Structure 1
Amino acid sequence: MLVVEDDPTIAESIAARLRAEGFDVELAHDGPAGVASAAAHRPDLLVLDVMLPGFDGLEVCRRVQAARPVPVLMLTARDDETDLLVGLGVGADDYMTKPFSPRELTARVHALLRRVERAATTTEPVLVVGDLEVDSAQRRVRRGGVEAHLTPIEFELLAHLAARPRAVQPRERLLAEIWGWGEAAGTRTVDSHVKALRRKLGADLIRTVHGVGYALEIPTSEVPA
C-alpha cells in the first residue's frame, strides 16, 4: 500500500494505523515521488492527498491510473464538490475530507480492497439493459456500442443499479452494499458518484427519487456526445 501525503505527521499516523491492520506501507511526500513509488512498488491501494508539492494528487492519480489501474482513496482539506467530482473523474474511488477518523479511513480501505477481491472472482454474465452493456467479467461498460471508462466504484454502482432496472435503490442501501458502510453519513458520496456516471454515460441514465435514492432507467439508443 502507498500513502502519498506531504505532512510527515499525518503520513506517519496513517502509515502506523495501516501497519497495525497488517498492511505493508510505503510513503511518498510529493507528486513525482508518489508516481515513482507507485511504479516501483505496484501497491494494491493508494491513499493520496490532493495538495502535494511538485504536482498535485489529481495529476498523481491520473498518471498512476494510466499506467496501471489501482484503487485510490483521496484525502483533501477542502469539502468542495467540484474537487470531489474532478477526483472521481481522474480515477479516484473514494474521497475523505480532513480531519478524518483513523478508524473510518481503515474501514474505507478494507471496503475498497473487498470490492477489488469480489471483482476479481466474479463470473456474472454480461448485463444488457436497453443500449447499456455491463460486462462484469471484463469490467467493461458500453452504451450504444461506445465504451466508457469507469472507476472500480463507479462500475460496482452501475452494475448494482443495472441488475435491478427501474427499481429504486435507497442511498443507505447503496452505501451498505457498494461501500460497505453501516451508517448514512456518506450519502453525499453516492450522489457524487451518480453525477460522475451521468457525465460519462448520459444524464438520462439514472433517475433521482428525491428523498430516497436512485433507479436505472431503461436507456435508449441515443448517446449524448
Structure 2
Amino acid sequence: MENGTVLLVDDEQGLLDLLAFTLRKFGIPNLLTATTAHEALEIIARHDVSLIVLDVMLPDGDGFDVCRRIRMITEAPVLFLTAKNQDIHKITGFELGADDYITKPFNPTEVAARVQVHLRRMAKLQTLSKAVYDFGHFKLNKQSGQLFVQGREVSCAPMEFLLLAFFCEHPNFIFTVSELYAKVWRPYQEGDEKTVVIHISRIRKKIEPDPGRPQFLVNMKGLGYKLVKKARNVQ
C-alpha cells in the first residue's frame, strides 16, 4: 500500500509536475495526473487509486462535488489542495469525506510527507489484528476493514474506521476530543480537533438507529465521548 497509486488533480500543469517530482523523491513512484474533474473521475473509475490529492477549484467543476462523487466509487483518502483556508471550507470538505486539507501556498515536501503518512496509515489498516467487535446492532472487523450494521455492510472512510476501531477497543471509556485527536489523528496527520466531532457525527449516521438520539456513541456532557458496550432498546 505504501507504493500504491496516487492521483494528483490540479489544473496547473506546473504544479502537477512539481508535486510528481517531489513525490518520486519521497519514494512514491506510481503517479497519475488529471487537470479536470472529468478526467479525474474517469481515472478513478478505471484504476485502483490508493490516494487522491484534489484541488478544490477545477475548470469544469467544484472539488467538493468531485469529492462527493469520488466517495461513491472509492474510500481512498482524499487530500484537498486549495487556496481556501476558511473553517467553513475545511468543515465542508471533511463532511464530504476528505481526510486532509492543505492550503496554498504550500511546501511540496509537506504535501509529499502527508501523502506518505496517509499511505502508511492505509497499509496499517490492512495489517490490523483479527479482532472482530460485535455490538449487536453493528459489527466491526478490523482485519477486513469492514463495518456491518444490522448485517449489512456499510462503507466507512479510513479515519472513520480508525476512530470507531479505537472506540471499540475501549468500550465504556470516556475520551475528550483532544485525547481522541491525539490517539487517532496525530500519529497519521496534522489537522484540527473540530474534525473529530465531524467524524463522530458521520459515524453516528452509520451505526445509530436514530443519530439524533445516539445510544452507542454518546456524549458525556462536559467530559467527552464514549462508546457504550450495551445500548438499550435498539430496534
TM (normalized to structure 2)?
Answer: 0.76
Name the structure 1 match of 2:204.
198
- CA–CA distance in 2 between the matches of 1:77 and 1:32? 21
Name the structure 1 match of 2:67.
61
Q: What fraction of aligned residue pairs are identical, expressed as a percent? A: 32
Q: CA deviation at 1:170?
A: 4.1
TM (normalized to structure 1)?
Answer: 0.79
Name the structure 2 match of 1:167.
173
* 8 A Cα contact 1:161 1:169, kept in partner: no
Q: CA deviation at 1:89?
A: 4.8
Aligned residues: 223
- Structure 2's unaligned 5+ residue stretches are 1-5
After TM superposition, the structure 1 = structure 2 runs for residues 38-49 of structure 1, keeping only pairs within 5 Å, are 38-49=44-55
Q: CA RMSD in A?
A: 3.2
Amino acid aligned to 1:159: A
Name the structure 1 match of 2:16.
11
- Larger deviation, residues 119-128 vs 61-70: 61-70
* 8 A Cα contact 1:126 1:133, kept in partner: yes
- Structure 1's unaligned 5+ residue stretches are none
CA spacing shift, 1:50–1:120, aligned 2, 3 Å? same
Name the structure 2 match of 1:222.
234
Write out per-residue CA displacement over residues 36-69 of structure 1, whole angstroms, 9 at most, x where no aligned residue: 2334443321111122122222343344443444
Q: Does 1:70 align with 2:81?
A: no
CA spacing shift, 1:59–1:173, aligned 2, 3 Å? same
- CA–CA distance in 1 between the matches of 2:62 and 2:13? 16
Three-state SS of the structure 2 residue aligned to 1:169 is coil
Q: CA deviation at 1:31?
A: 0.2
Three-state SS of the structure 2 residue aligned to 1:16 is helix
Three-state SS of the structure 1 residue aligned to 2:122 is helix
- CA–CA distance in 2 between the matches of 1:93 and 1:182? 11
Amino acid aligned to 2:226: A
* 8 A Cα contact 1:65 1:91, kept in partner: yes
